[in-house]
Structure 1
Amino acid sequence: MKLHAPEAILPTLTATIAVVSLAFWLATGPPKGLEPRTPGRDGTIDAAGQTDRPEPGQPIAGPGTASDISGRWPGFLGPNRDSIATDGPKLARSWPEEGPPVLWSIDVAEGYAGAAISDGRVYVLDYDKQAQADTLRCLSLDDGREIWRNSYPVVVAFHHGMTRTVPVIVEDHVITMGPRCHLACWDAATGRSHWLIDLERDFGTRVPEWYTGQCPLVDQDRLIVAPCGTALLMAIDYRTGDVIWQTPNPRGWNMTHVSVVPMEFQGRRTYVYCASGGVVGVAADDGSLLWESTAWKEINATSPSPVALPDDRLFLSRGYGSGALMLQLVETESGIRAQTVFELKPKQFSSEQQTPIYRDGHLFGIRKVGAKTMVCMDLDGHQVWDSGSDRFGLGPYMFADDLLLILDDDGTLTVAEATPAGYKRLARHSVLPGGHDAWGPMAMAAGRLILRDMTRMVCIDLKAKP
C-alpha cells in the first residue's frame, strides 16, 4: 500500500477547503451591517482627499460686525513676514496677578492655523468636521463673533491636527492654502468665492506628511506659491487665478511645510524655497531658476522658512536631529552659486516649528535640543546669550514694541526684553489654561494679540494702561 507524505496531501486539502469556502460565501453574501470605508475616517485618505472636484459654497452670514479698531497683520509672520510688529500702541511691561485681559475666545478645529487681521476683521482657515469642509471664518476683532463663513468640501483626517496655514490679505481679497493644498481666493468683506485651484489635481502636488504648512505669499502684486509638482514655483494673478509663470521641476522635488521667502540678490528680486531635495532661488519676473543647492535636503520634515540676511546670506534651520546651515549666494562666471558658510549642530541651534527672527543684526530663536532656551546668535553662528532658567517649547514668538513675546506649548505667554545685550523676563502668565500644542503663529493688531492652542483661539489685550 502506497503511503502519501503529509506535505504532499496538504496543498490538495487546502485548495479543496478554499473552493468550498468561496462557494459558501458567494451563496450567503457578505456579512450584514458592513459600511463602505469613507476616506479619511479610518486615518487613510485617497489620492485627492475626495471623489469630486471641490466647489466653494455661498457665504453664511453671522451676528458679528467689523471692528473700528485699526491695525493690520495681513498674513504669515506679519506685514514684512519677519515676526516683528512695526506699529501699534505701547504694550504693558507687567501684568496683574490674573494676567492680561482675555477679550474673547472661540473653539477651533484641532490644528495650528494662525490668524490674519485687516479692517477690524480676523480671518482663520478652520475645518468644519461635521460638514467635512475647509472653512474660512471671518470674525470681529472686537468680540470674536463670526461675521461670515464660507467653505469647500474636502476630507481631512486628524493627523497631528488638521489645520496649519495662515491666510494672506491683499486689497479686498483673502487667499488661503488648505491642508490638502487647495488654493482659494475670497472676497474679504462678503466671503464670496472668486476662484479655487486644487494643486494636487491640477499641478501634481504631493501633499506633505501632516498636511501642508505652506502659507501663500503675495509679492509685487502677484500670488507666489510652491506646488512642487509639474511646477516647482508658480506666480498667479490673485484676482483671477490665472497662472503667470511656472518654474520647471525636473528633479521632481516635493513640497515641504516651508513658505516661500522673497530675497533681493544683486538688485534682482528673487524667491527662495526649501523643497524636499534642496533649496532653490528663482527670478521674480519670469520664474526662471537662478540657483539651487542640495546642501539642505528634507529630513523627516522642514517647517521653518529661510531667513534672508544681509550680504546675500540665508539662514536655514529645522529639528528632527538637524541643526542649522548658513548659505551665501555668490555670482560666478557660470551663474549664481550657493556656498556653505557654516553649519550648526543640533545642540548649537535647531528649530523644529518656528522661523527664527532677524533683528538688530542678530538671530533670535528657541533651540529645541537640550533645555529649550531662547538664544541670541550673531551672524557667524556664535551664541551671544540664552534665556537661562526660562525654558520654552515649540510655540511661536514675535517682537512688538521692543518686547519679545513667547508662547509655550501649554499656552503660557512670556513677555521679555531681548536685545543683543541680554534677556530679561518681565512677565509670564497662562493665557490658555490647560492648553497643549500651542504652536500656531501669532498675530497682532492695535495691541491685541491673537494666539491659539490645539482647539482654542483667544484675543488678548496687551496694551499698557494710561
Structure 2
Amino acid sequence: MKDFFISKLIPAAVLVGSVVLFLWLVRGDRTSGFSQRLPGLDGRPENAQAEIAAEVVGTLETFDGAAAELNGSWPCFRGANLDIISTQDMPLSQSWPDHGPPLLWDIALGEGYAGAAVHKGRVYIVDYDRENQKDAIRCLSLADGEEIWRYSYPINIKRNHGMSRTVPAVNDNFLVALGPKCHLTCLDSMTGELIWKKNLVAEFGTEVPQWYAGQCPIIEGDRTIIAPAGTCMMMAIDLITGDIIWDTPNPDDWDMTHSSILPVSFMGKDVYIYCASRGVVGIAADTGELLFKTDMWRIRIANVPSPVDLGGGKIFFSGGYNAGSMFAQLYDNEGSIDIKPILSIEADTFGSAQQTPVFFEGYIYGVRPDGQLVCLDTSGRVIWTSSSNEKFGLGPYMIINSNLYLMNDSGVVTIAAAQPAGYQMLARAKLLEGPDSWAPMAVADGRLLLRDMNRMVCIDITEGGLGDE
C-alpha cells in the first residue's frame, strides 16, 4: 500500500511542478535573470521585515591610530556640494609613471562597495565584519590608514554580492551612517561615542532594498535628512537629540531605493528631491511638506543614480536596465513648486546603471551602459564619446581640478580632460586589483581614496609628492 501511494504521489508532484513552470514561462517575468550584472544580482537578502525585534546594542573600540594634521574634507557621498566635484588647493600631477602614482597606504575591508568620507585628517567608512557578524563604522587615520576607533553592532547579513554600500555623512561634531539593513546611527565624529540610533525597519516600516541599503544620509545644519520610505517618505532628525523635526507622509507605500536625496534651491525655497520606488517626490526642506509626487521617472528593477541639479530648476535623471535618462524642469504651480518632464533620452544614447553623472561647466559627463564615457549638453545632445576602445564599466568617476578621474571594474584609473572639445586621456594606471571596483571615490589634501570589493587604497595624486606631511 505504501508503495502504491508513493507511485501515485511522485507523478502528481511532477505534474504540479510542470504546471507551475508553464505558468511562470507564460506569465512570469523571464527577463530579470538575464539583466546586466549589478551589485546583488546573485540573490536577494532575506526579508528584513521578519527581523524586526531585538534592541541592537553597539560597542565602541579604540585603537592606536591618530588623525592626520590635515584640514581637507570630503564629508559625504558626492562631496561637500553633492556634485562629485573637488577643487584642490594644491597642484596635482597631470601624468603618471607606468607603475602609477605613489601608494600611501592600503587596508583590507569586508565585501562591499561603501565609499569613504574624509574630515579633519580622518577617514570614515561603513564596513561589515563578516567573521563576527557586525556592522562596523570605522574611523581611520588619513596619514597611514591606522584605525582610530570602531563602533560596531551585531547584525546577521547574508552574502549578497557585497554587504556595505553606503557613504556616511560627517561634520566637526557628528557622523551619521546607514547600515546595510537600514540601521541609522549617529556618533560623535571625533570619539565614536554613540549619540542616538534608529532602526528604520522596526520604527518606520522601511523595507530593506533588494541589495541592501544604498541611500547615503546627508547633514544640513543641525539635522540629518533620510528617506525611510516606510510609514514616512522622508524625515529630518535633530543631530543632538535624535528627535524627529518633521516627517513626510507616505500613504501610497512607496519604497526606499538605492538613490540618495538631492537638495536644490528654486523660487527662493530649498527642496529635497528623491527617487523612490514608484516615482519622484519633492519635499520642502523647512517643513517636510510634500510639494510634488510624480511617476514620470521610475525604474522597475534598481534605481541607483541620484538626480543631478543642472541649475535653474532643471534636473537630470538617469538609470540602468534600459531606463535611459530624462531632463525635467521645476516650475511655479500657483505659488507651489511642481515638476514636469521636458526630454527623454534612450539608453543607447545615455543611461547610467549605478554611478551618478557629473555636471561641470555646462556639460554632463557620465558612463553609459556600453561602457563609453559620454559628454552631453543640457539639451541632451551628445557632444562626444570616448569610443569603443575606451570603456570604463560600472566604476566611479569624479572631477578634480577640472579633470575627470575614472576607475573601471578592475581598478584601472584614468585621468581625462573634462572639456567639450573631445575625449583626451591624460594618464592611466592600475591602482587596485578588483574585482568590482565600484565604490564612490573621495579626495582630500591631495590624497585619493579608492576601493574595490575587498580593499581600500590611499593614493598621492599631487604634482610634487606629499613628502613627510
TM over 0.5: yes
**Matched ranges for 1:374-389 at <5 A:** 374-388=373-387, 389=389
RMSD of aligned residue pairs (Cα, Å): 2.1
Q: How far off its partner does 1:435 sit?
A: 1.2
- Counterparts of 2:171 and 2:452, CA distance in 1: 27
Matching of residue 109 in structure 1 with residue 110 in structure 2 = yes
Q: How far off its partner does 1:330 sit?
A: 1.9
Partner amino acid for 2:363? H
Matching of residue 224 in structure 1 with residue 225 in structure 2 = yes
Structure 1 unaligned segments of length 5 or more: list them.
1-5, 16-40
Q: How far off its partner does 1:62 sit?
A: 1.4
1:233 matched residue in structure 2: 234
Provide Cα deviations, 1:361-408, integer angstroms capped at 9, x if missing partner: 11110011x3x1111101111001111232111111011111110011
- Counterparts of 2:363 and 2:44, CA distance in 1: 46
- Counterparts of 2:232 and 2:53, CA distance in 1: 24
Q: How far off its partner does 1:61 sit?
A: 1.4
Matching of residue 405 in structure 1 with residue 405 in structure 2 = yes
1:257 matched residue in structure 2: 258
- Counterparts of 1:46 and 1:288, CA distance in 2: 29
Structure 2 unaligned segments of length 5 or more: list them.
10-42
Q: How far off its partner does 1:334 sit?
A: 8.1
1:193 matched residue in structure 2: 194
**Matched ranges for 1:11-50 at <5 A:** 44-47=46-49, 49=51
- Counterparts of 1:278 and 1:184, CA distance in 2: 27
Contact 2:180-2:214 within 8 A present in 1 as well: yes
- Where 2:316 maps in the other structure, the secondary structure is strand
**Matched ranges for 1:103-142 at <5 A:** 103-142=104-143
- Where 1:142 maps in the other structure, the secondary structure is coil
- Counterparts of 1:66 and 1:332, CA distance in 2: 50
1:425 matched residue in structure 2: 425
Q: How far off its partner does 1:332 sit?
A: 2.5
2:456 matched residue in structure 1: 457
Equivalent of 2:56 in 54, 57, 67:
54
- Counterparts of 2:333 and 2:256, CA distance in 1: 29
Question: What is the TM-score with the length of structure 1 in the denominator?
Answer: 0.89
Structure 1 segments of 4+ aligned residues over 4 angstroms from their partners: 9-15, 48-51
Contact 1:102-1:461 within 8 A present in 2 as well: yes
Matching of residue 393 in structure 1 with residue 421 in structure 2 = no
Partner amino acid for 1:47? Q
- Where 1:341 maps in the other structure, the secondary structure is strand
* Greater mean deviation of Cα atoms: 65-74 or 273-282: 65-74
Q: How far off its partner does 1:42 sit?
A: 11
Q: How far off its partner does 1:97 sit?
A: 2.0
2:24 matched residue in structure 1: none
Provide Cα deviations, 1:253-292, integer angstroms capped at 9, x if missing partner: 0000011110111110110000011101010111000111
2:317 matched residue in structure 1: 316
**Matched ranges for 1:44-443 at <5 A:** 44-47=46-49, 49=51, 51-57=53-59, 59-333=60-334, 335-368=336-369, 370=370, 372-388=371-387, 389-432=389-432, 434-443=433-442
Contact 1:48-1:201 within 8 A present in 2 as well: no
Contact 2:185-2:198 within 8 A present in 1 as well: yes
- Counterparts of 2:114 and 2:416, CA distance in 1: 25
* Greater mean deviation of Cα atoms: 92-101 or 441-450: 92-101
- Counterparts of 2:303 and 2:203, CA distance in 1: 24
- Where 2:88 maps in the other structure, the secondary structure is coil
Q: How far off its partner does 1:240 sit?
A: 1.5
- Counterparts of 1:288 and 1:164, CA distance in 2: 29
Q: How far off its partner does 1:311 sit?
A: 2.6
Provide Cα deviations, 1:204-236, integer angstroms capped at 9, x if missing partner: 000000001000011243211000000001010
- Counterparts of 1:156 and 1:409, CA distance in 2: 24
Contact 1:237-1:244 within 8 A present in 2 as well: yes
Provide Cα deviations, 1:124-161, integer angstroms capped at 9, x if missing partner: 01011122111011111111011111111111111110
- Counterparts of 1:242 and 1:309, CA distance in 2: 33
Larger radius of gyration: 1
Provide Cα deviations, 1:183-202, integer angstroms capped at 9, x if missing partner: 00111121111111000000
- Counterparts of 1:168 and 1:309, CA distance in 2: 23
Count of paired positions: 430
Partner amino acid for 1:185? C
Contact 2:45-2:212 within 8 A present in 1 as well: no
- Where 1:202 maps in the other structure, the secondary structure is helix
Contact 1:405-1:416 within 8 A present in 2 as well: yes
Question: What is the TM-score with the length of structure 2 in the denominator?
Answer: 0.88
Query: Sequence identity, in percent?
Result: 46
- Where 1:93 maps in the other structure, the secondary structure is coil
- Counterparts of 2:80 and 2:217, CA distance in 1: 13
2:35 matched residue in structure 1: none
- Where 1:212 maps in the other structure, the secondary structure is coil
Contact 1:224-1:235 within 8 A present in 2 as well: yes
Provide Cα deviations, 1:419-441, integer angstroms capped at 9, x if missing partner: 12222101111001x31111100
